[in-house]
Every structure is written in C-alpha cells, then in structure tokens.
A and B are shown apart, each in its own frame.
Chain A
Amino acid sequence: MTVHGGIGQSIKRKEDARFVRGKGTYVDDVRLPGMLYLDIVRSPYAHATIRWINSEKALKVPGVLAVITGKDLEAAKLSWMPTLMSDRQMVLPVERVMYQAQEVAAVVAESRYAAADGVAAVEVEYEPLPAVVDPKKALEPGAPILRPDRKEQTNHIWHWEVGDRKATEKLLKECEVVVKQDLYIPRIVVASIETCGCVAQMDAAMGKLTVWMTTQAPHAIRTVFALVSGIPEHKIRVISPDIGGGFGGKVPVYPGYVLAVVAALKTGRPVKWIEDRSENIQADSFARDYHISAELGASKDGKIKALKVKTIADHGYTDAAANPSKFPAGLFHIITGSYPFEKAFVEVDGVYTNKPPGGIAYRCSFRVTEAAFTIERLVDILAHKLGIDPAELRKKNFIPPGAFPYESALGWTYDSGNYEAALKKAMDIIGYDALRKEQAEKRKHGDLMGIGISSFTEIVGAGPSRDFDILGLKMFDSCEIRIHPTGKVLARFGTKSQGQGHETTYAQILAEGLGISSDDIAVEEGDTDTAPYGLGTYASRSTPVAGAAAAKAAEKIREKGRLIAAHLLEVRPDDLEWKDHKFQVKGVAEKAKTMQEVAFAAYTNHPQGMEAGLEATSYYDPPNLTFPFGSYICVVDIDKETGQVNIRRFVAVDDCGTIINPMIVEGQIHGGLTMGLAPALLEEIQYDEQGNIQGGSFMDYLLPTAVETPKWETAKTTTPSPHHPLGAKGVGESATVGAPAAIVNAVVDALSHLGVVHIDIPITPWKVWKILQEKGAA
C-alpha cells in the first residue's frame, strides 16, 4: 500500500504555488522601514596601488549618508577576513587592489539611485602595477610577488599530490601505448539568474543582528560571522529566504555581505546590498581555471593501466575556494573515473594571479567536472589512437559490477555501480550502431557528423567527517520532525533549497517514513533561529545527507510511536510491526493504528511515564560519499561553412540510486545538462594581458538560451547506494559533470579523420571554422 506523496512518486512541487504567482520572497524582495542601500566602488585595474580615496564629493551627493573605505575597516580589524582554505581575503583594500572589479569602497545612501550616484562621485587615485594574469608566468622567477603579506615570498600557494608517483611512472614506461594531452578548462561563473545580496538589520535594543542573505549554508555563515565579528552566535540570525539559483556561487562570503553588516552596525538602520549582474560576473567566485597535462597508458589491445596528471590551478589573488574537503584540489582525484587503473598519480599546484578569488563548484562537488572531463577525453583519445570504437573501449575497461565496493587507485571507495548497463541503455536508446553507419556514409560525402560518449563516475554527498569540515564543523546534516496532535507535520532541515524542490522531496521521504500524506507535511529551511544546525546545500549533498537524516528521524518517531500504538491496542510493543505505513498487530491487519492516531494519543493519551509529544531530531554524518554515474551519448552535426556545432541528439542515462521524485530528478538532469553544454560550447571568462576582463556582462558571457539548448532525452538505471538509508545518491550535479566530455568527444569525433585530437572548450564556431580552414576541409 502506498502513502500519498511517498518515495518514487512524481508529485507536483509544493513550492510552485508561490513561485508561479510571483509570491516567492527573494532577498531583494525584503523591505524594512528606514532601509538604506549600499553600493560598491570597484577597481578599474587588475593590480594597482591605491594612492588616495576622496569621499568628499560623494558625501555631498543628495541622499548619501556614508562612505566606507579599507582604512575604516582596518581600524576595526575588519579589512581582511579568513577564507575556508586557511588563506585570507580583503573586505576592502588598504594599499593595493588585486583584480579588476575588486571592491574599493562602499557608499551607503537613502536610495538605490543615490547610492549609485555616490559611487560615481568617489574619487580614487591608483598607481597601476604590472598584472600577473598567466599562472604559468606567475611561477617564473622574477614574477611580481602578489602576496607579500605571506611568509612564503612566492606566487605558489600549495602543492598537493595523491597516488604513487614512482610506480605510476614505471608502469607508464612499460605501457605499449601512452596518450598525452594538455587540456585547459577555462574560468567560468555560475551566473544564477538571481545575483547575490543581503539585507542586514541590527536591533540595537536586543543586540541582535539579522541578515537576510543569498546563502546556500546559513548555519555555517552564522558561525563564521560570530567568529569574525565577535557578536555572540545566539544574537545572530541568518535567514536564507527563497534563493534564485545557487550552483555553488552562494556558498562563499563576499565582501558585499560584510560591508552591509558593517553599515547596518554603524548607521543603526537596515542596509540592503544587491549586486548587479556585471558585478556578479566580474567579481564573484569563479569555477574551474585548471591547466591540466595528462598521460594515460594502456596495452595495445586497449586495456587501461596507468594515469598521471599534473595540474596548475589558477586561484586568483587568494585561495578562497568553497571547498570543505581536506584536499586542496577538492575531489579531483576521482579522475580515475569508471576504470580500474592499476596505478595513478595526480599532482596539483595552486597559484596566485591578479584575478578574483573563488574556485567554487559550478554545479559540481569540488573539481569533479575537471576530473570527469579529463578522463573521458583521454579515453576517447586512446580509442581513436588505437582505432577501437570508444564504446567498446569503455566496455572493455569498466570496473565490473561485481567489484563494488571498489577501492580506486587514488583512495576512494566507490559504493556501487553498474557502468556497462548504463552505457548499453544509452546506446540502445540512441541507436548507436546505426549512427556509426550513418557517420561513415556522411564522411564519404564530406559531411561532418560526430558521436561522443561520456561514461562518468560522480562523487557527491559531502561528506564523511573524516574528510570534510568547514572550519572544523563536521559535514553532517539534520532533520527535526514535529508531529502535531492532529497528525500534521512540521519538519525542519539544516540544508537550503535553491530550486531543487526540497519542500517536496523531503516531504516525500517523511511521508514514506511516517505514513502521513506529503500534503500534510510542511518543510522549512534557511532560518538559523528555527532550523536545526546543518552545513547547507551544495555538492549534491541534500538527499544523501539531510535526506538520510530525515529517514533516521522518521525511524525515531516510529520507535516512540510503536510504544504509543501498543498502549492504544493493549498489546506488547513487540507484537506490532510497521506495515502498510501503520502499526499493525502481527498477522492481524485490522488491528492497527495510524501515525495520526498515535500522534493524537501522544498529546492526549500517552502511556504513563512516557513524555508527551511526538518529535525527533537526527544529525546524520554519512559513512561514505555516494558515487552516482551515468553514460551520455551526444550526436553533433557541424556546419562546414560557419563552424557551428549543432547538437542533433543527446541521450543521458543517469543512475543516482533510489529516486525520491522522478519528475524532480529529471528536471535536475535537464538543468545539469544545460550547465554542461554551457562551458563546452559557450561560456568563458577571459582576461587580457593587463588583467582586464573580456566580457563581464551577459552581453558577452553567453548563457545557453532555449534556442541553443537541445531537447534532452533522459533515462535511468537504478543501483542503490548500499550505505544510504534509502539507497539514494544525489543527482543535482551529475549531468553538469558528465555532459561536457560527451559534447567535446562528439565534436572531435566529427573531425577526427582530419587529424583533430583535442579542442579546448568552449568550442566556439570560430575555433571550429579555423580548424576547418587549416585542414582544408571547409
């Protein structure tokens, strides 16, 4: 017997009722009496000394109340703030600006427009310094030292390595075939349609600070604010209201948030700061920016053996990566992917440049896309070199289903997988063999058609506390259930939805666990005064971690409920079983009590000696990460005249274990695929030699529209996670991780007969057109 809105049902989303009416409450919708507006003066230079700042004219602008500079903050010891990576970041600079569009001063005014007028009137005298833009040049002797404040007088931040270097190098030498490839994975930004912002309010009478904020991790932010500001943590309330997309970009603490809080404390009035789109693109956390050199060794019949990867990671002027793992390069060592490498070695060097800091996720958990892209590209390069069909080469090498739990060469324990089943399904759906025949036929006529595969392995659900923490806070998450006397439920979580549909998905998990319709379960998140402590939503961790907490909390409710039901039915608790979402006397189906009946009794007729009420809280620290996977196949046609890549079909077979709401999961995959297409074909943040950003607005930074985005085709296999209470693995990011390689593999496949081995992303029509000209194929 199913419960309404239980696990596996495509019920419609609860949150949609407000969103389709325009009744969501996003941060910019928060308006308080007497509220002021803060706007930011930004640097036109990538690297410059600040000679002076003159606020006089700005202060004469009607409506302007105050101008905040780095010197003001220095006096309060707030000009720098710590990053999650044991580095430090400027709130406002005192001496030097380190990237174009860096915050230089803040103007506080009565209105949005007056604040902008004030920004225009602040005078700053700069002395430009040589900018360090290329991370490889940053490491050369004689390069300007960007961070003289550090003990180590070098632009090299850290070196990190994992695996067995000697054994890998030895095995590579022994391999009959070695393919080597340099790949640059360019800097991109998540550009959620809602930019970042906050409203800060100080209640002077109560000494309480409330901040409405675009954050994916409200509790962690509260703790960080308390540690940095000295305000006691119980006097800080962080509210993350409706969030218009996060994708990792709303994990970091940006200077604007801190400035709004400072302004609220100083003026005694609420202060709103909302960045505009250009500020969002130019100054907020970036993703990727990895310069990778990879070598893969195999036998001549295509058995994959060894992998060696060297990477330079451009971190901008500080390492402010929102990376809660103990590994400086995040989970990059998932790079052995779906294959049983005998030996592997990965090293990454972090480097400072005159660019904004970050290193955030862009819808993947900490460098997983970089890893999946690299391995899936290399496997294709090997296939082309050996003349083996890329699908056959993958099948030949996959970690077999019987090998799980599988210990990877770089130290991960994959929970479960069935890689060949996913690939076979994708091949069947798309009609792989027929496409290969069509391609051969087309080639005879000079038409350019390519087929690309990506059989990726993801790593999500951060995370086990042995490997993950934020400033020491372990990466558990939480669920608190309160069942009211009438059997209706209020449940609160430590995560924060940014569009994923938590209010619906969590209600479904609880409906299943409590035997109560999801219609009768209200889910709340994002208010640190009410929700249980949690580490937030990113890294596809909500279902793997908080979803597990929900299942565990429901279990606790059932434990108490059984005692109450036994009392009502006048039987021993052991005589009862939880069956068909009810407490039933074993073997006597008609003698049963529903959770609603038990809830009423919990407040009106509970056993003597038992505490009243029916509530439970669970904090879940996962024993391992989860490893979703999938196989994607992309078919492209290339216009020889323009170099335009047209995605004819794209089939995505995903396996995220147990699915809570198939409709929502499919929606997550559609969105993820589109954010995989984006960097593959369109998006890149580029800088010129002076560190000027080339295209810092939506005029030049191209998000996919409905016209470029193909009609995604999705399917699934289901291999539950053995260690998750529900078998769920998380899905929000898989498609973003898996898609780029499928697209690039398809484009290169279309051009491989011309001798093309690799094209760096984004594959623009211009790049393809140039290749076609060079190869004489246009």
Chain B
Amino acid sequence: MAVAARPMAGDEEMAPSYRVRLEVNGKPYDAEVEGRTLLVHFLREDLGLTGTHIGCDTTNCGACTILLDGRPVKSCTILAVQADGRAIRTVEGLESDGKLHPVQDGFIEEHGLQCGFCTPGMMMTAVALLEKYPNPTEPQIRRAISGNLCRCTGYVNIVKAVEHAAQTMRGPKAGGKA
C-alpha cells in the first residue's frame, strides 16, 4: 500500500468554501460548504439527516427526493450552495407534535413500503402531489411517482397509500373520492 508522504489532515490546501444559509424542516442553518458539495451529502453528512437516501448517480431513482420551497427535487442533482436562502423539507420534517403525517400513516396502513429505502423520497413526492392535487386519480399518482423507483412493492400498495393519505387529508366531511 502506497501511503501519502505528508501529515494527514490539517495542512491541506483547502478547496474554497461557501456560506450557505437555509431552512431545513423549519429550522435555520448557517454553514460553510465546499462548492461542489451535493445537497444530499450536505443534508446527510453535515446536518445528520440520514432519512434522505442515495440510490443512483443519474437522477433516476428518486430515493433522495426532498421538497425545495415545496417542490419535489432530487437532492443528488443540485449543489448545497444552490439551496442558499431556500426552505427544505425532508422526511424528518413530516411528523409534527408526535403525530405522523397522513402520508406516513398511509404507507403503514396500506403496506406501501418493504425495505424502506425508497420510502422517504417516495413519500416526499407524494406530499408534494397531495399539496397540489388533494384528490388525485390513480394515473395521476402513478405519473407523479414515476421518477421514484421501488424494487420491493410493485407500486400497487404505494398507490393505495397515497390514496389513503389523500382521503385522510381531505377529512371525513369531504367524503370519498368521486
């Protein structure tokens, strides 16, 4: 094994860093990041929010989906510096006051997850869908989650989970789906 002939960390020539101020799950953060740091690595490694996962390197799988100013975004494909001044929501921000978000409940009730790896990204996409379309059709749900790959469930129960959540979010008075 060839070993670097110099002291380890400390006296390295450091890459320039940038200041990033952003809000994650309602909490403000002020951090220094290397310019090339991907948002997903910033969330997972700098902020310790490991609920957002990494499943590919080509922006196909959607395991890293987060909400950026309310829109679902694959956090492996933007830089942390691009999130400066913006509001991010991750899976860790779904539960509030000890109460699960209806989408989280829906996934449990309808067995919409198995290994759980795609689940956070899948749920964030579902949250964004339901915030925009409270009463989605099945094809609408399927199209919305088509950028999120799941290898375990075959999607049938994920669709049901989103429908379950939609029903809950509309409330009992709104009645069933037309």
Give A residues with C-beta under 8 Å from B: 12-13, 15-26, 28-29, 31, 55, 59-60, 62-69, 72, 110, 112-113, 190-195, 242-245, 247, 262, 266, 276-278, 498-501, 663-664, 666-667, 670-675, 697-699, 703, 705-707, 709, 711-712
Mostly, the A contact residues are loop
CA distance in complex: A362, B141 (Å): 28
Q: In the complex, how many angstroms separate the beta carbon of A582 from the nearest chain B beta carbon?
A: 31
Interface residue from B13, B104, B156 paired with A62 (Cβ < 8 Å):
B13
CA distance in complex: A11, B152 (Å): 19
User: Is A194 a contact of B57 with CB atoms below 8 Å?
Assistant: no
User: Is B119 a contact of A112 with CB atoms below 8 Å?
Assistant: no
Interface residue from A194, A245, A706 paired with B146 (Cβ < 8 Å):
A706
User: Is A193 a contact of B55 with CB atoms below 8 Å?
Assistant: yes
CA distance in complex: A191, B120 (Å): 18
User: Is B151 a contact of A671 with CB atoms below 8 Å?
Assistant: yes
Given contacts A23-B51, A499-B116, contact A667 B2 (CB under 8 A): no
User: Is B104 a contact of A21 with CB atoms below 8 Å?
Assistant: yes
Q: Which residue of B lies closest to A53 (CB)?
A: B2
Given contacts A59-B4, A277-B58, A697-B56, contact A663 B113 (CB under 8 A): no
Name the A residues within 8 Å of B37 (CB-CB): 113
B92 interface residue per 8 A CB criterion = yes
B149 interface residue per 8 A CB criterion = yes
Name the A residues within 8 Å of B45 (CB-CB): 31, 112
User: Is B4 a contact of A192 with CB atoms below 8 Å?
Assistant: no
CA distance in complex: A21, B94 (Å): 8
Most buried by B among A26, A244, A675: A244
User: Is B116 a contact of A19 with CB atoms below 8 Å?
Assistant: yes
* Residues 81-132 of B at the A interface (beta carbon under 8 Å): 90-92, 94-95, 100, 104, 107-109, 111, 113-120, 123
- Residues 1-18 of B, flagged 1 when their CB comes within 8 A of A and 0 if not, give 111110011001111000
User: Is B159 a contact of A706 with CB atoms below 8 Å?
Assistant: yes
Q: Which residue of A lies closest to B153 (CB)?
A: A671
User: Is A498 a contact of B115 with CB atoms below 8 Å?
Assistant: yes
CA distance in complex: A686, B70 (Å): 40
- Residues 128-159 of B, flagged 1 when their CB comes within 8 A of A and 0 if not, give 00000000001001110111111111111111
User: Is B2 a contact of A21 with CB atoms below 8 Å?
Assistant: no
Q: Which residue of B lies closest to A666 (CB)?
A: B111
Q: Which 4 A-B residue pairs are closest in the complex by CB-CB distance?
A: A22-B51, A499-B115, A244-B117, A19-B116
User: Is A72 a contact of B1 with CB atoms below 8 Å?
Assistant: yes
- Residues 145-178 of B, flagged 1 when their CB comes within 8 A of A and 0 if not, give 1111111111111110000000000000000000
Given contacts A195-B55, A277-B56, contact A20 B146 (CB under 8 A): no
Given contacts A21-B104, A499-B114, contact A699 B119 (CB under 8 A): no
Given contacts A20-B107, A667-B157, A670-B154, contact A29 B50 (CB under 8 A): yes
User: Is B153 a contact of A667 with CB atoms below 8 Å?
Assistant: yes
Q: In the complex, how many angstroms separate the beta carbon of B174 from the nearest chain A beta carbon?
A: 24
Given contacts A21-B104, A59-B5, A244-B116, contact A698 B92 (CB under 8 A): no
User: Is B55 a contact of A110 with CB atoms below 8 Å?
Assistant: no
Interface residue from B12, B109, B151 paired with A191 (Cβ < 8 Å):
B151
Q: In the complex, how many angstroms separate the beta carbon of B165 from the nearest chain A beta carbon?
A: 11
Q: In the complex, how many angstroms separate the beta carbon of B159 from the nearest chain A beta carbon?
A: 7
User: Is A22 a contact of B92 with CB atoms below 8 Å?
Assistant: yes
CA distance in complex: A706, B34 (Å): 36
User: Is B151 a contact of A21 with CB atoms below 8 Å?
Assistant: no
User: Is A21 a contact of B115 with CB atoms below 8 Å?
Assistant: no
User: Is A671 a contact of B152 with CB atoms below 8 Å?
Assistant: yes
User: Is A15 a contact of B116 with CB atoms below 8 Å?
Assistant: yes
Q: In the complex, how many angstroms separate the beta carbon of B41 from the nearest chain A beta carbon?
A: 7
Given contacts A674-B155, A699-B58, contact A16 B107 (CB under 8 A): yes
Q: In the complex, how many angstroms separate the beta carbon of B6 from the nearest chain A beta carbon?
A: 9
Q: Which residue of B lies closest to A735 (CB)?
A: B154
CA distance in complex: A12, B106 (Å): 11
Given contacts A193-B115, A703-B151, contact A62 B49 (CB under 8 A): no
Given contacts A698-B61, A706-B146, contact A64 B4 (CB under 8 A): yes
Name the A residues within 8 Å of B138 (CB-CB): 711
User: Is B151 a contact of A675 with CB atoms below 8 Å?
Assistant: yes
User: Is A66 a contact of B52 with CB atoms below 8 Å?
Assistant: no
Q: In the complex, how many angstroms separate the beta carbon of A526 from the nearest chain B beta carbon?
A: 13
Interface residue from B2, B145, B154 paired with A673 (Cβ < 8 Å):
B154
User: Is A707 a contact of B118 with CB atoms below 8 Å?
Assistant: no
Name the A residues within 8 Å of B61 (CB-CB): 193, 277, 698
CA distance in complex: A159, B44 (Å): 49
User: Is B95 a contact of A21 with CB atoms below 8 Å?
Assistant: yes
Most buried by B among A22, A66, A242: A22
User: Is B1 a contact of A698 with CB atoms below 8 Å?
Assistant: no
Q: In the complex, how many angstroms separate the beta carbon of A120 from the nearest chain B beta carbon?
A: 13
Could you show 18 A-B contacts with beta carbons less than 8 Å apart?
Answer: A16-B116, A20-B113, A21-B100, A22-B49, A22-B50, A22-B51, A22-B120, A60-B4, A63-B9, A66-B4, A193-B63, A244-B118, A277-B56, A277-B58, A499-B115, A667-B152, A698-B61, A699-B58
Q: Which residue of B lies closest to A54 (CB)?
A: B2
CA distance in complex: A278, B119 (Å): 21
Q: Which residue of A lies closest to B121 (CB)?
A: A193
Name the B residues within 8 Å of A703 (CB-CB): 149, 151
B54 interface residue per 8 A CB criterion = yes
User: Is A245 a contact of B113 with CB atoms below 8 Å?
Assistant: no
Most buried by B among A24, A191, A276: A24
Q: In the complex, how many angstroms separate the beta carbon of B168 from the nearest chain A beta carbon?
A: 14
Q: Which residue of A lies closest to B92 (CB)?
A: A22
User: Is A670 a contact of B157 with CB atoms below 8 Å?
Assistant: yes
CA distance in complex: A674, B153 (Å): 8
CA distance in complex: A317, B155 (Å): 36
Name the B residues within 8 Å of A67 (CB-CB): 1-2
Q: A31-B45, A245-B114, A709-B154 are in contact. List 17 more A-B contacts (CB 8 A).
A: A20-B107, A22-B120, A29-B50, A66-B2, A69-B2, A191-B151, A193-B118, A244-B53, A244-B55, A247-B151, A671-B154, A673-B154, A699-B60, A705-B155, A706-B143, A706-B146, A711-B159
Q: In the complex, how many angstroms separate the beta carbon of B16 from the nearest chain A beta carbon?
A: 12
B36 interface residue per 8 A CB criterion = yes
Name the B residues within 8 Å of A20 (CB-CB): 91, 94, 100, 104, 107-108, 113, 116, 119, 123
Q: In the complex, how many angstroms separate the beta carbon of B11 from the nearest chain A beta carbon?
A: 9
Name the B residues within 8 Å of A26 (CB-CB): 50, 53, 117
CA distance in complex: A498, B113 (Å): 12
Name the A residues within 8 Å of B60 (CB-CB): 697-699
Interface residue from B58, B95, B117 paired with A194 (Cβ < 8 Å):
B117
Name the B residues within 8 Å of A697 (CB-CB): 56-58, 60
Name the B residues within 8 Å of A59 (CB-CB): 2-5
Name the B residues within 8 Å of A192 (CB-CB): 115, 117, 151
Q: Which residue of A lies closest to B8 (CB)?
A: A65
Q: Which residue of A lies closest to B115 (CB)?
A: A499
Q: Which residue of B lies closest to A12 (CB)?
A: B108
CA distance in complex: A390, B141 (Å): 36
Given contacts A68-B1, A193-B150, contact A22 B90 (CB under 8 A): yes
